[in-house]
Structure 1
């Protein structure tokens, strides 16, 4: 299947984890893919970027368009998480979390819109189930992801008549390198791995490739009538109630 033949996709945070799976999926379906993050990509064409710097973002998007001639798909996947309750978080850490998780996507969308408008393009933002609920100690992350879901809807409303669609996905627990590191830092990693499947009705955690499959659909022409939506990809975790 070559749904993205002759199309160009820019994926932030495409060097690892979910972003890497998305970049590979879009490439496998014919897209010219460029990733954007602080460090160079060892597999795909990339641009170095500081997502909190408006001038840097503008320059990076312009570089992609100059290199590839157009921009059809923007995927905002870069993110970070800090663990702290409101009282324990410094203003600097709060701002840094919002810079990466919310302001960065805003800047990317703003810079990319003229090119996406010309191409009739699509935006997919990677939010989180923590934009719908929250784990303990994730105040800034939950706030940013909730904001990203809201930004998704606003962009869809403001730019739909210009031919630009904007959707988001809200992944749950996905098996990535970062989550593996989190598990390994827990007091009992083996027990954690045994129990993590139990919080999902499907009986397991998710794979990056499963998230990438939905991103590819939302970015493709099959989803031409889909915009302003937030799709939960969590194996039913948010649907399952705790036992009484």
Structure 2
């Protein structure tokens, strides 16, 4: 399958985890993929970026568009999670979460829109089930992801007339290296893994490639009537009611 043959894609945070799976999936389907994150990416063309620096999005889009001559797909995947209740979070930490998780995607979209208008391209934002619900101590993360879901709808409404589609995915527990390290640090990793898996009707946690498959679906031209949506990828976790 070569749904992205001749197309150019940007994947932020594409060096690891879900971002890496997305970059690989798009490349496997024919896209020329650029990643953007801190440090170098040995496997993809890339632009080093710290998304806490709000000057970076314009530079990233400009540099990649100049190098590739076009832009067809933007995937906003980079993000951070800081743990604190609202009362204990200082303003700098709050602002950093919003800058990386919401303002940087907004600016990437803003500067990508002229290029996406020419290609009638697609945007996919990687939100979270915590933009719909919330775990404890995740005030800033949950707020920023909810904002990203709202931004997704707004961009779809405003720019559909330009041939641009914008959707989001909201992953649940995915087996990224970070999450696997968290599990392995538990006193009884096997028990914790069973307990986490049992939260999901499918009986397990998710794989980065499963999120990537949905991102590719949403970015593909064949799905041109799908826009403004947030698709939950959580193995049914949020569908199951708690007992009794």
Deviations 1:217-243 (A, max 9, x none): 100012100000000000000000011
In the TM superposition, what is the alpha-carbon distance from 1:56 to its structure 2 partner? 2.1
Which deviates more from structure 2 when the two are superposed, residues 38-47 or residues 146-155?
A: 38-47
Could you say what secondary structure the match of 2:47 adopts?
Answer: strand
CA contact (8 A) 2:14 2:77 kept: yes
In the TM superposition, what is the alpha-carbon distance from 1:181 to its structure 2 partner? 2.2
Deviations 1:34-86 (A, max 9, x none): 00011111111100122233432211111101111100000000011111111
Distance 1:180 1:174 in 2: 9
**Structure 1-normalised TM-score?**
0.98
Partner in structure 2 of residue 199 of structure 1: 199
Which deviates more from structure 2 when the two are superposed, residues 44-53 or residues 59-68?
A: 44-53
Partner in structure 1 of residue 189 of structure 2: 189
Partner in structure 1 of residue 162 of structure 2: 162
Partner in structure 1 of residue 234 of structure 2: 234
Partner in structure 2 of residue 17 of structure 1: 17
Partner in structure 1 of residue 65 of structure 2: 65
CA contact (8 A) 2:54 2:99 kept: no
Deviations 1:128-172 (A, max 9, x none): 000000011111000000000000000000100011100000000
Partner in structure 2 of residue 29 of structure 1: 29
In the TM superposition, what is the alpha-carbon distance from 1:90 to its structure 2 partner? 1.1
Gaps spanning 5+ residues in structure 1: where?
Answer: none
Partner in structure 1 of residue 135 of structure 2: 135
Partner in structure 2 of residue 122 of structure 1: 122
**Alpha carbons of 1:80 and 1:54: their partners in 2 closer, same or farther (altered >3 Å)?**
closer
Gaps spanning 5+ residues in structure 2: where?
Answer: none
Could you say what secondary structure the match of 1:39 adopts?
Answer: coil
Could you say what secondary structure the match of 1:98 adopts?
Answer: helix
Within the alignment, does 1:47 sit opposite 2:55 as a pair?
Answer: no
Could you say what secondary structure the match of 2:55 adopts?
Answer: helix
Partner in structure 1 of residue 84 of structure 2: 84
Distance 2:89 2:28 in 1: 41
Distance 1:89 1:117 in 2: 39
Partner in structure 2 of residue 93 of structure 1: 93
Partner in structure 1 of residue 153 of structure 2: 153
Distance 2:138 2:55 in 1: 29
The total of aligned residue pairs comes to 244
Distance 2:132 2:61 in 1: 30
**Structure 2-normalised TM-score?**
0.98
Could you say what secondary structure the match of 1:71 adopts?
Answer: coil
Distance 1:183 1:67 in 2: 41
Which deviates more from structure 2 when the two are superposed, residues 57-66 or residues 4-13?
A: 57-66
